[in-house]
C-alpha cells in the first residue's frame, strides 16, 4: 500500500515536471493579479513534444488518423484497430467514472485544463498509447513485409511520449498512467485474437448492423454514473458511434458485393508510391476531410434541432443551459447529436467516400479487397 500511495503523490509528478523544465511561479504581493499563469516553461522542446504527445490521444487525432488510414493504408487492419480501440476506451472510461479518483493537486502545475473535469484513474491516454500503435503493429506484422523491430521501436516511442506527456502536463499521477498501461496490456491479450473473428462476423452476418446499433446504444444508456456530470460519457459516445458507423459501412460494402478477397497472399510487399499515387492520396485526403467536416456540421445541426423539437425544447436556451445530471434533456440531445454525427462520419468514411473516390478514379486499388 505504501508503494501505491507513493505513486499517487502529487510531489512525484511535480518532480517530473521540474525535471523537464516546468517550474511553478511563486506568488507574492508584488505579482500581477491579472496574470493567471502559475508556471514557466524553461525547455520549449519538451513542451512542444509533450503537447504533440497528448494530442495523439485527442479527438482531433482520431478524426484525422482513422479516416486517413482507411483511405490510404489498409481497411482490414483499420477495422480491427478501431474495434480494439473502442472496446478498450469504453472499459477505461467506465472504470474512470466508477473509481472516481481525482487528478493530482498542488504542487502539481496543470498546463492543460481540457480534461480537468474528468476523473484520473486509469489514464485513458495511456490506454490509447497501447491500443492504437501496438494493435497496428500486431495486425500488420504478418500482413506486410517490413522491419518489425523498427515498427516495435516506433510503437514504444509513441506510447512513451503519450504517457510522459500526461505527467508533464500535470493531468495524471504516476499510478494513473501505470494502471492505464497495465489494464490496456491485459485487455490486448484476449482482444487481438477475438477481434479477428468479430470482424469477420460483422462483415458477413445479416444481423450485424442491428447488433451493433442496439449494443452501442445500450452501452451508452447504461454507462456508469459517477454522481456528477463529466464529459467522459460524451467522449465515449463519440468513440462507440464512430466504430459502429465504420463497421456498418464495411458491412454494406461486403453485402452489396463490392468487396472481394485479394488473389494475392500475405505478407504483401510495401510499394514505394509513385507521383500518381501520391497525387491520388493527396486528393483523397483533401476531398475526404472536406466531406467529413461537412457531415459533422450538417448532422450535428440537423440532429440537434430535430431532437430539441421532439423534446419541445428551445435550441438556444438548451445550448446555454448548464451541464448537470439533472438536465436530462440536454444530456439526451448532446449524446444523440454526437452519436448520429460520429456514426455518419464513420459510415461515410467506409462507404460513401470510397464510392466517390472510385467514381473520380482516385480510389486506392486494394480498398475493396481488404477482407
User: Per-residue pLDDT for the chain (371 aa), expressed as one digit of tens each?
Assistant: 678 788 888 888 888 888 888 877 776 544 554 456 777 888 889 999 998 999 888 888 888 999 999 999 999 999 999 999 999 999 999 998 888 888 888 888 888 777 667 778 899 999 999 999 999 999 999 999 999 999 999 999 999 999 999 998 888 889 999 999 999 999 999 999 999 999 999 999 999 999 999 999 999 988 888 777 788 888 899 999 999 999 999 999 999 999 888 888 888 888 888 999 999 999 999 999 999 999 999 998 889 889 888 888 888 888 888 777 778 888 888 898 999 999 999 999 999 999 999 999 999 988 999 88
What integer pLDDT is reported at residue 331 of this predicted model? 84
Q: Tell me if residue 197 is catalytic.
A: no
In this structure, what C-alpha cell is assigned to residue 332?
439526451
From residue 319, alpha-carbon distances to 242, 289, 304, 340 in Å are 23, 27, 10, 18
Residue 335 phi/psi, 5° resolution? -65, -40
What integer pLDDT is reported at residue 36 of this predicted model? 62
Alpha carbon distance 183, 191 (integer Å): 12
Q: Tell me if residue 125 is catalytic.
A: yes
Which residue, chain included where needed, has cell 450538417?
Answer: 298
> What is the reported pTM?
0.89
In this structure, what C-alpha cell is assigned to residue 361?
478514379
Residue 277's H or E segment, with its range, is: helix 275-311
Phi-psi region of 133 (alpha: psi -120 to 50; beta: other; left: phi over 0): alpha
What integer pLDDT is reported at residue 29 of this predicted model? 45
Buried b / exposed e along 213-227 (16+ C-beta atoms within 10 A): eeebbeebeebbebe
Alpha carbon distance 79, 247 (integer Å): 7
**Distance of alpha carbon 331 from the chain centroid:** 21
From residue 121, alpha-carbon distances to 57, 90, 99, 110, 176 in Å are 15, 14, 7, 16, 5
Closest CA to 95 of 61, 118, 115: 118
What integer pLDDT is reported at residue 33 of this predicted model? 47
Find the catalytic residue in 79, 80, 172, 233: 172
Find the catalytic residue in 80, 96, 125, 233: 125
All structural domains of the chain with their residue ranges? 2-23+39-258+272-369
What integer pLDDT is reported at residue 34 of this predicted model? 47
Query: 272: helix, coil or strand?
Result: coil
Amino acid at each position: 500500500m505504501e508503494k501505491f500511495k507513493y505513486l499517487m503523490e502529487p510531489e512525484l509528478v511535480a518532480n517530473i515536471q521540474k525535471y523537464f523544465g516546468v517550474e511553478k511561479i511563486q506568488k507574492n504581493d508584488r505579482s500581477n493579479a491579472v496574470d493567471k499563469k502559475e508556471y514557466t516553461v524553461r525547455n520549449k522542446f519538451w513542451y512542444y513534444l509533450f503537447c504533440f504527445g497528448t494530442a495523439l490521444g485527442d479527438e482531433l487525432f482520431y478524426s484525422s488518423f482513422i479516416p486517413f488510414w482507411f483511405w490510404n493504408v489498409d481497411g482490414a487492419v483499420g477495422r480491427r484497430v478501431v474495434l480494439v480501440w473502442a472496446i478498450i476506451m469504453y472499459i477505461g472510461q467506465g472504470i474512470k467514472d466508477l473509481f472516481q479518483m481525482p487528478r493530482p493537486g498542488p504542487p502539481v502545475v496543470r498546463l492543460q485544463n481540457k480534461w480537468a473535469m474528468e476523473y484520473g484513474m486509469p489514464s485513458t491516454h495511456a490506454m490509447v498509447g497501447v491500443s492504437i500503435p501496438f494493435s497496428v503493429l500486431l495486425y500488420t506484422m504478418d500482413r506486410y513485409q517490413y522491419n518489425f523491430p523498427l515498427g516495435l521501436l516506433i510503437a514504444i516511442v509513441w506510447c512513451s511520449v503519450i504517457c510522459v506527456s500526461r505527467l508533464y502536463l500535470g493531468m495524471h499521477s504516476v499510478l494513473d498512467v501505470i494502471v492505464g498501461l497495465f489494464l490496456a496490456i491485459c485487455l490486448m491479450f484476449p482482444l487481438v485474437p477475438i477481434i479477428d473473428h468479430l470482424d469477420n462476423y460483422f462483415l458477413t452476418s445479416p444481423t450485424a448492423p442491428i447488433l451493433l446499433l442496439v449494443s452501442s446504444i445500450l452501452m451508452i444508456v447504461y454507462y456508469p454514473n459517477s454522481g456528477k456530470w463529466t464529459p467522459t460519457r460524451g467522449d465515449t459516445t463519440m468513440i462507440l458511434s464512430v466504430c459502429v458507423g465504420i463497421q456498418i459501412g464495411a458491412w454494406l460494402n461486403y453485402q452489396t458485393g463490392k468487396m472481394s478477397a485479394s488473389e494475392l497472399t500475405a505478407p504483401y510487399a510495401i510499394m514505394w508510391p509513385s507521383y500518381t499515387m501520391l497525387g491520388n492520396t493527396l486528393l483523397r485526403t483533401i476531398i475526404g476531410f472536406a466531406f467529413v467536416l461537412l457531415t459533422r456540421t450538417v448532422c450535428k445541426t440537423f440532429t440537434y434541432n430535430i431532437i430539441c423539437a421532439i423534446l419541445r425544447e428551445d435550441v438556444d436556451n438548451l445550448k446555454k443551459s448548464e451541464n448537470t445530471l439533472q438536465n436530462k434533456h440536454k444530456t439526451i440531445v448532446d449524446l444523440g447529436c454526437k452519436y448520429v454525427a460520429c456514426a455518419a462520419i464513420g459510415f461515410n468514411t467506409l462507404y460513401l467516400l470510397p464510392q466517390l473516390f472510385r467514381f473520380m478514379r482516385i480510389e486506392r486499388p486494394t480498398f475493396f479487397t481488404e477482407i
